[in-house]
C-alpha cells in the first residue's frame, strides 16, 4: 500500500508533468526536407510504426500513472521508491522486461529520444507531443536522482533479487534498494550520460517551456562538473549491483566527450569546445570502436560534433568530420574499410544479446549524418568510393524495413506492428494477467509457470522492439530467451528519429 509520502510526491510530480507539456513546435527544429529520390509508395506504414514506437514508453513507466495513460493494462507501481533512503525516487522507466530502474540506460534513452526530437521533431506532426511526454517522464525522474550536489541515485531495485521473481511491477515485493554514486564512489560514465540527457532535453523544451529548460541545463552543468571532477567507473564501486546487467565495458572517456558535446550544443559556451579540443584525443575521439549504444558513445559524439563543423561551420572541429566518415566507411559493404557483419537477410549484426539496439542506433546516425552532409553539400569518401547522403538513407531504410517485416521470416520485430510479430516477449507485465483481469496478487515465484509456457502474452506491449534474430536470421519467439525476445527502452529511442524521417520522406506525415 502506498504511503502518504509517495502519494503526495506523485501528485506533485503529475502537476509538474502537466505543466511541462509543450504544445508548440520549437523554432529550431528541422525544416521539412523533400527528398525526391524516394518513391511515392512505401512498403511500410512508417507513421503507424512511429506512433507505436512512442506509445511503448508508456508501458515502461514506473510511478503514479497519469489520466491520459494509453497502455491501460499497466497500473501504478513503485510508489515508495527511494523512501528507505529518505529521498523521492518515484517515477522514471523500467529499462526492459524486469522491474529495476537502472539509471545508466535510462539516461541514454532520454538523450536519444531528445536527439530524435531535435533532429526530426519538426516533421513529427501529431506525434511530437507524445515524444515530448516520453522525454518529460524521464527528465522528471533524472531531476530527482540528481537533486543533491555531488550525488546521483543510479539504481532502484536489487537486480539479483528482482530476477529471482517473475512478477508484475504492480505486485513488486522484492527490495527496492537504492544505490548512488558520490565523491567516494564515483561513476563518471553514468554521471556524464545523465548530464548529456539533461542538456539534450533542455533543448527540446527551450522554446515551449523556457524556465524548465533552464532548470535542466543548469542541472546538466552541475552534473557534468561532478562527472569530470570525481573520475572513476561505477562498475568498480558498484560492481556487485550493476554487473553483469549494465556494466560499463567501454570506460567513461566516451561519456565525457559525449556529455561535453551536448553541453556545448545546449549552452553554446566556448569552454566546452575548449574542453573537447584539449581532451578529445585522450577521451578517444579517433577510436575505431564503431559500436554505438548505451555503453559506448564515441560514434555518437563524433556525429554530433561533426554537425558543429558541417552545419555551424566551426572550423576547430574539422577532424570530427573525418572521425565520423571513418565510422560510416566501416558500415559500407565492399569498401576496404568495411567491418560490419550482416545476416544473410541483410540485418546489421553486432552481437547475440539485444542486437536490434545497434540496428536502431545505427539507422538513426545514418539518417542524421545524411541530414548534416546534405546541409553542407558534402559526401563521404571511403578510399575510392564516394558515399552520398542518399546511400546512407537507403542503408538506414533497409535496416528499418528488415525490422518491420522485410526479412526471411516475414515477421515484424515490433510488437503490434504488421500481421506477424513476437507473441511471447520476455517482459513480466506483458506476460502475466493484468491487474484489471486478475486483481489478486501474483506471488514472486508463481509467475515462472507463465514464463516457461508457450501461451502468447495476454497484454500487448504495443511498439516494443525485441532483441531480434540471430546471425542466421532465426528467431524462436521464446519468452525465456531474453537475448532475442526482450524489448528495451534504448532499442526504441533512436528508432523514433529514424521512423520520423522515413514517414516524412514517404509523405505519411
Active site residues: 426, 477, 486
Give φ, ψ of 486 to 5 degrees.
-95, 130
> Grid coordinates standing for 199?
542538456
| Contact criterion met (CB below 8 Å) for 255 and 294 | no
Helix axes 298-310, 356-376, angle to 10 degrees: 10
**What is residue 443's DSSP assignment?**
P
- Please give the distance of CA 419 from its chain centroid, rounded to a whole number: 26
Whole-angstrom distance, CA of residue 349 vs CA of residue 156: 32
> Grid coordinates standing for 87?
529521498
| Contact criterion met (CB below 8 Å) for 148 and 142 | no
The 3-state DSSP class for residue 82 equals coil
**What is residue 84's DSSP assignment?**
G
> To the nearest 10°, the Cα dihedral for 215, 221, 224, 228?
-160
Whole-angstrom distance, CA of residue 402 vs CA of residue 367: 16
Q: Where are the beta strands (DSSP E) in 283-384?
A: 380-382
| Contact criterion met (CB below 8 Å) for 79 and 90 | yes
Q: Give the pairing type, strands 380-382 and 385-387.
A: antiparallel
| Contact criterion met (CB below 8 Å) for 137 and 61 | yes
| Contact criterion met (CB below 8 Å) for 22 and 494 | no
Cβ neighbours of residue 389 closer than 8 Å, sequence gap 6 or more: 369, 370, 371, 373, 374, 379
**What is residue 305's DSSP assignment?**
H
The 3-state DSSP class for residue 380 equals strand
The 3-state DSSP class for residue 469 equals coil
> Grid coordinates standing for 57?
514508453
Residue at grid coordinates 550493476: 242
Count of C-beta atoms within a 10 Å radius of residue 19: 11
Amino acid at each position: 500500500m502506498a504511503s502518504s509520502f509517495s502519494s503526495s510526491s506523485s501528485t506533485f510530480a503529475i502537476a509538474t508533468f502537466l505543466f511541462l507539456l509543450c504544445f508548440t513546435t520549437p523554432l529550431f527544429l528541422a525544416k521539412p526536407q523533400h527528398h525526391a529520390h524516394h518513391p511515392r509508395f512505401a512498403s511500410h506504414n512508417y507513421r503507424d510504426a512511429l506512433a507505436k514506437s512512442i506509445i511503448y514508453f508508456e508501458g515502461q513507466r514506473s510511478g503514479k500513472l497519469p489520466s491520459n495513460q494509453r497502455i491501460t493494462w499497466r497500473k501504478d507501481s513503485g510508489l515508495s521508491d527511494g523512501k528507505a533512503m529518505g529521498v523521492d525516487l518515484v517515477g522514471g522507466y523500467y529499462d526492459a522486461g524486469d522491474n529495476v530502474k537502472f539509471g545508466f540506460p535510462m539516461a541514454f534513452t532520454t538523450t536519444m529520444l531528445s536527439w530524435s526530437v531535435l533532429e526530426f521533431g519538426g516533421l513529427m506532426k501529431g506525434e511530437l507531443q507524445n515524444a515530448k511526454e516520453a522525454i518529460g517522464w524521464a527528465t522528471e525522474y533524472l531531476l530527482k536522482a540528481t537533486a543533491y550536489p555531488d550525488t546521483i541515485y543510479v539504481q532502484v531495485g536489487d537486480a539479483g533479487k528482482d530476477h529471482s521473481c517473475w512478477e508484475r511491477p504492480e505486485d513488486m515485493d522484492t527490495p527496492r534498494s537504492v544505490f548512488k554514486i558520490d565523491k567516494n564512489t564515483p561513476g563518471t560514465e553514468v554521471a556524464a550520460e545523465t548530464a548529456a540527457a539533461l542538456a539534450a532535453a533542455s533543448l527540446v523544451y527551450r522554446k515551449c517551456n523556457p524556465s524548465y529548460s533552464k532548470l535542466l541545463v543548469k542541472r546538466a552543468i552541475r552534473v557534468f562538473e561532478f562527472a569530470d571532477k570525481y573520475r572513476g567507473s561505477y562498475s568498480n564501486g558498484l560492481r556487485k549491483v550493476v554487473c553483469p546487467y549494465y556494466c560499463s565495458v567501454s570506460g567513461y572517456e566516451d561519456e565525457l566527450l559525449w556529455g561535453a558535446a551536448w553541453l556545448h550544443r545546449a549552452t553554446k559556451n566556448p569552454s566546452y569546445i575548449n574542453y573537447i579540443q584539449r581532451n578529445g584525443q585522450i577521451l578517444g575521439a579517433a577510436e575505431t570502436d564503431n559500436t554505438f549504444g548505451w555503453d559506448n558513445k564515441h560514434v555518437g559524439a563524433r556525429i554530433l560534433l561533426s554537425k558543429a563543423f558541417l552545419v555551424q561551420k566551426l572550423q576547430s572541429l574539422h577532424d570530427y568530420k573525418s572521425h565520423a566518415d571513418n565510422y560510416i566507411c566501416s558500415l559500407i559493404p565492399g569498401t576496404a574499410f568495411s567491418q560490419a557483419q550482416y545476416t544473410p537477410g541483410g540485418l546489421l549484426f553486432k552481437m547475440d544479446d539485444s542486437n536490434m539496439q545497434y540496428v536502431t542506433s545505427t539507422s538513426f546516425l545514418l539518417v542524421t549524418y545524411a541530414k548534416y552532409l546534405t546541409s553542407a553539400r558534402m559526401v563521404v569518401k571511403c578510399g575510392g568510393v564516394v558515399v552520398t547522403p542518399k546511400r546512407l538513407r537507403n542503408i538506414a531504410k533497409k535496416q528499418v524495413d528488415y525490422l518491420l517485416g522485410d526479412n526471411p521470416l516475414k515477421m515484424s520485430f515490433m510488437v503490434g506492428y504488421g500481421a506477424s510479430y513476437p507473441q511471447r516477449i520476455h517482459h513480466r507485465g506483458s506476460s502475466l494477467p493484468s491487474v484489471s483481469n486478475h486483481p489478486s496478487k501474483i506471488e514472486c515465484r508463481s509467475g515462472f509457470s507463465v514464463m516457461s509456457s508457450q501461451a502468447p502474452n495476454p497484454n500487448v506491449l504495443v511498439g516494443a522492439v525485441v532483441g531480434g534474430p540471430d546471425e542466421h536470421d532465426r528467431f524462436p519467439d521464446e519468452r525465456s530467451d531474453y537475448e532475442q525476445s526482450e524489448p528495451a527502452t534504448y532499442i526504441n529511442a533512436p528508432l523514433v528519429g529514424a521512423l520520423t524521417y522515413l514517414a516524412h520522406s514517404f509523405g505519411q506525415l
